[in-house]
Amino acid sequence: MQTPSRRLLAMFAGLSLLSVVCSIWTTFSIVWWSVVSILLTASIIDAALLFRLGKHFNIQREVPHSLALGIAQEISLHVSHQYQQTIRCEFIDSIPEGFESDITSERRQLRLLPGQHGTVTYIATPVVRGRHQFEPCDLRLFSPLGFWSRQFRAGDTTKIHVYPNFAAIVKYHLLATDHRLGQLGILVRQRRGEGLDFRQLREYREGDSRRQIDWKASSRMRKLISREYQDEKDQQVVFLLDCGRRMQAQDGHLSHFDHTLNAMLLLSYVALRQGDAVGLSTFATQDIRYLAPKKSDKTVNLILNQVFDLQPSLQTSDYYQAAIDLTLKLKKRALIVILSNLRDEDDVTLLPALQLLQKKHLVIFASLQESSLLQQITSPIHTDKEAIQFAANCDFLNKREQLLRKLNANRTLAIETPPEKLAIELVNQYLDLKMKAKI
C-alpha cells in the first residue's frame, strides 16, 4: 500500500492556501490551475515509479544458524536493487523475541545510487535458548520525487538455534593447549603411575613407589626401571539434569538452569578428553530426554542438540523416581552428576534416591546458591518486614546447610557453589576423583 508523504501533503496544503488568494485575485487562477495540474501529474508518475520499484528490491540477512546464549553477534543486512534511479529507503529488521538489540525500535536509512549495494550491521544478543526465527524486514521505500512511500516486507525468513554458551569449552581448549588451565581456576594435579592402565616403562624417578619398579626390566637394563600407568579410560559420566520449577531461579541474565547447562558442557568436554564416555538424563519435565553414554568427538554436539531448546518446567522434582528410571537404563558403573537446586524439604525423596544410586554408582550432587538470598542476609535491617525476611532466609539457609552435611555423611559428594563457579567446581571435583582412581 502506498501512502502520501509529508512532502506531498505539505505541497497540497500550500495549494489550498494559494486557492484562497486566487479567489480574491482571480488573475492568479491560471497559475494555480497550472501548478495543480503539474503537481497531480508528477505525483501520479511518482506513484507509478514507486510501484515498480518494489519489484526490483532485495534484502539478504547474514547471521549464523547457530548462536551461543548471551554472546553478542553482529548481524548484517545486505540491501540491493536493480532500478536505474537513485532510491531512498528505511527499514528495521524483525528481531525475534528472546533477543536484545541496539535497533529494537530504530529504523535505518539508506540512499543507494543505480546499481549500488548497501550493508547495514547491528548487534543482537540471544538471551533465551531454543529455536528462533527472523521474519522478513519491515521496509519503507520512498518514490524518486519523495511524494509517496510504500511499506512492505522484504527478505527471507531465517531460522536459527540458540545453544548454551559453549565459549567456556573453547577457552578451556586454548588454555589446556598452553598448559595454563590455572587461569580458569582449574587445579592441575600431576599424577605418576597410580592408575590401572599400563602406559610405558621408563627410568626410575625419585618419588616413585616400590610397586612401580619392574624388577625384571631393571635386571635386564642394569638400572631401576619403573612402570608408568595412566588413568583408567572407558568410564562413564552421566548427568541427571533437574528440569523442575526450582531451576527457574535467576542470577543475572541467566537462570540457574542455563548455568547448569554451561557447566555440564564444560565437564562433558573435559571427561571426553580424559577418555570417558558421557551421557545425560532429564527429570521433572514432560519432555524427558536421554542420551546413552557415548565416547566420540561428536558427543558434545549430541548433548548440545539434546538440551538447547529445553526449558525448566513447573513440575516438582521427584529424585527417587528419577533414580529408578536411570538405574534401569544404566548397566555399567558410572559417575552420576545430579545438577539441581537443593531445598530444605528434599530429604524426603533425595536421600532414598541417593541410597539407590550409590548401590552401584558414585554420585555428585551439585546445588546452586541464590545470590539474592546472600545479599539479603548481609544487608542492613531497617524495618520489621526486613527483620522477618532476614529470619526466614537464615532459617532456610541453615536447614539447607544441615541437609548438605547429611548428604556428605551419606557418602555423597555434595557441592554448593555460586552459579558462575559451578563449571570450575565440577571440573575440579571430577579431576580429583580421577587422580584418586575412584572413577
pLDDT tens-digit profile of 373-408?
Answer: 666 677 778 787 778 777 777 777 777 787 888 887
Of the listed ranges 184-198, 228-242, 292-306, 323-337, the one predicted with least confidence:
184-198
pLDDT beyond 80 at 171: no
Of the listed ranges 33-37, 46-50, 103-107, 181-185, the one predicted with least confidence:
181-185
Between 164 and 9, residue with greater pLDDT: 164
The arrangement of secondary structure in 167-186+234-435, i.e. its CATH architecture, is 3-Layer(aba) Sandwich (3.40)
pLDDT beyond 80 at 177: no
Between 230 and 255, residue with greater pLDDT: 255
What mean pLDDT do residues 208-236 have?
78
- Asked if 342 and 370 touch (Cβ cutoff 8 Å), the reply is no
Can 1-163 and 167-186+234-435 be said to share one CATH topology? Answer: no
Confidence of residue 12 (pLDDT cuts 50, 70, 90): confident
Of the listed ranges 184-198, 229-243, 257-271, the one predicted with least confidence:
184-198
pLDDT digits (tens, 9 = 90+) for 95-143: 898 898 876 556 777 888 887 788 888 899 998 999 999 999 888 888 7
Question: How much is the pLDDT for 199?
Answer: 66
Alpha-carbon radius of gyration of the chain: 33
The C-alpha cell that represents 221 in the structure block? 637394563
What mean pLDDT do residues 84-90 have?
78
- Asked if 55 and 87 touch (Cβ cutoff 8 Å), the reply is no
Report in angstroms the alpha-carbon separations of 316 from 244, 342, 358, 404. Answer: 6, 12, 23, 20
- Asked if 277 and 234 touch (Cβ cutoff 8 Å), the reply is yes
What mean pLDDT do residues 222-247 have?
83
pLDDT beyond 50 at 192: no
Confidence of residue 278 (pLDDT cuts 50, 70, 90): very high
The one-letter code for the residue type at 381 is I
What is the helix (H) or strand (E) element at residue 378, kind and residue range?
helix 371-378
Which residues have C-beta within 8 Å of that of residue 123, sequence separation ≥ 6?
72, 73, 74, 75, 101, 102
Break the chain into its structural domains and give their ranges: 1-163, 167-186+234-435, 197-230
- Asked if 83 and 58 touch (Cβ cutoff 8 Å), the reply is no
Of the listed ranges 95-99, 192-196, 239-243, 325-329, the one predicted with least confidence:
192-196
* CATH class belonging to 1-163: mainly beta
**Alpha-carbon dihedral of residues 264, 265, 267, 268, nearest 10 degrees?**
110
Between 228 and 290, residue with greater pLDDT: 290
